[in-house]
Amino acid sequence: MFEALNERLTGVFDRITGRGALSEKDVAEAMREVRVALLEADVALPVVKEFIAFATERATGEEVIRSVRPADQVVKIVYDGLIEMLGGEEPVPLNTNATPPAVVLMAGLQGSGKTTTSAKLALRLTKFDRKKVMMASLDTRRPAAMEQLAQLGKQIDVAVLPIVAGESAVQITRRALQSAKLQGFDVLILDTAGRITLDEGLMNEVAEVAEISKPVETLLVADSLTGQDAVRTAAAFHARLPLTGLVLTRADGDGRGGAMLSMRAVTGLPIKYLGAGEKVDALDVFDARRVAGRILGQGDIVALVEKASQDLDQAKAEKMARKLAKGQFDLDDLAGQLQQMKRMGGLQGIMGMLPGVAKMKSQMAESGVDDRMILRQEAIISSMTKAERKKPDLLNASRKKRIAAGAGVDVQDVNRVLKQHRQMADVVKQMARGGPKKMQQMAAM
């Protein structure tokens, strides 16, 4: 899924990573490239424009988080923009709460995957929601389509309304409603007729069926591979039929993602499911977070930035940056860093978000580097007096002994913390000598 789009966006991010700070020009250039990537992915132009405006404002606005690398923040901004485009973080569940049978009407063009999706949905509702489901095909012009649904019903063990030759779509609808009611089915899925192209006859028929069956859900099934055509189809159907949601099929083969990314913004309708293969269980609940994560392929960085921004304390960060700029880094600062690490889920949490660190993690665990170490270091620092934290040189043997006793550790452990602090303080001093640019990088670390 989304290979092409992913490749383009990864290229954009690669070009900006490694830069300490991003100027407005850098951001503008990155956004220009993101724009091209989206257009190449066949996303509708107005949607792209809106997205770029949103992302540029965020990237250059005041919400810049200093504790993360600017490039990572751009990744997060693009991620947020995609989520917005896709309709928000929370999946919109299928509504089946109605006096039984709750009717789910499936509409769409022929070949969009409507019949397959009807069966997939029936299987989901039966298997996960324990609903008693009946399906009925209204495709009176194509006996093969009716037969296909009957076959699928057998395969997944879901009831299908028996075929009666010569009935109209409206007649079948009435019979299906009655039959489902009498037999106590919770949900009735109506698979309406499709045409190769949109036509008046098709629209009238679906509209009439909807009027009779009063569906709680009217889903449009569209083939994501047809890109903007799928979006136009959805809009045309919606103009005639109050749709409640969309199902995009063949997402498994969609390298571009243009239909998916435009659908919500153009039609205002939530995407509820994605068809992800030919098999009857290949239907995923649409989750914008998952999709955006796959498009970017940078889910780990997004999680990292999210965590950092949750705990963001701008004033503290600025104060820290000013101190660092003067080459100062005392034990209180070290304690602050430890706190920050803990808030980000500790070492394990931070490392878990970085790709390819499983091996390193186990090595660290073997050598005793773990979250207990952070806690131990914190205990040691908090056993010091204020003066000691500001001026570690005060720490002679007897003071160290007192601190070790206070923290419940050995003097050796105290020495280790002091050594670590010295090393960090040295780096800070060196950085301060390196000038403001270096400092910015450091503060962003």
Beta bridge partners of 223: 249
Written as one letter, the residue type at 340 is Q
Per CB under 6 A, residues contacting ligand GDP are 108, 110-116, 194, 249-250, 252-253, 275-278, 282
Please say which residue, 71 or 169, places its beta carbon nearer to ligand GDP.
Answer: 169
Please say which residue, 252 or 332, places its beta carbon nearer to ligand GDP.
Answer: 252
Please say which residue, 277 or 406, places its beta carbon nearer to ligand GDP.
Answer: 277
Shortest Å distance, C-beta 48 to ligand GDP: 25
Beta bridge partners of 103: 188
Contact 128, 289 (CB under 8 A): no
Binding site members for GTP: 108-115, 191-195, 249-252
Shortest Å distance, C-beta 282 to ligand GDP: 6
Binding site members: 108-115, 191-195, 249-252
Q: Closest residue to ligand GDP, Cβ-based?
A: 275
The 3-state DSSP class for residue 160 equals: strand
Please say which residue, 119 or 443, places its beta carbon nearer to ligand GDP.
Answer: 119
Q: Tell me how crowded residue 442 is: count the other CB atoms within 10 A of its CB.
A: 19
Contact 320, 336 (CB under 8 A): yes
Please say which residue, 151 or 423, places its beta carbon nearer to ligand GDP.
Answer: 151
- Closest Cα partner for 390 from 317, 339, 328, 309? 328
Shortest Å distance, C-beta 89 to ligand GDP: 23
Shortest Å distance, C-beta 356 to ligand GDP: 31
Please say which residue, 114 or 131, places its beta carbon nearer to ligand GDP.
Answer: 114
Tokens for 162? 């028996």
Please say which residue, 114 or 400, places its beta carbon nearer to ligand GDP.
Answer: 114
Contact 135, 122 (CB under 8 A): yes
The 3-state DSSP class for residue 180 equals: helix
Shortest Å distance, C-beta 108 to ligand GDP: 6
Shortest Å distance, C-beta 437 to ligand GDP: 51
Shortest Å distance, C-beta 311 to ligand GDP: 41
Residue that has been written with the tokens 């789910």 in this structure: 104
Query: In the chain, count of helices (H) and strands (E)?
Result: 21, 8
Tokens for 114? 């409507």
- Burial of residue 33 (CB within 10 Å: 0-12, 13-18, 19+) is middle
> How far is Cα of residue 13 from the mean position of the Cα atoms in its chain?
18
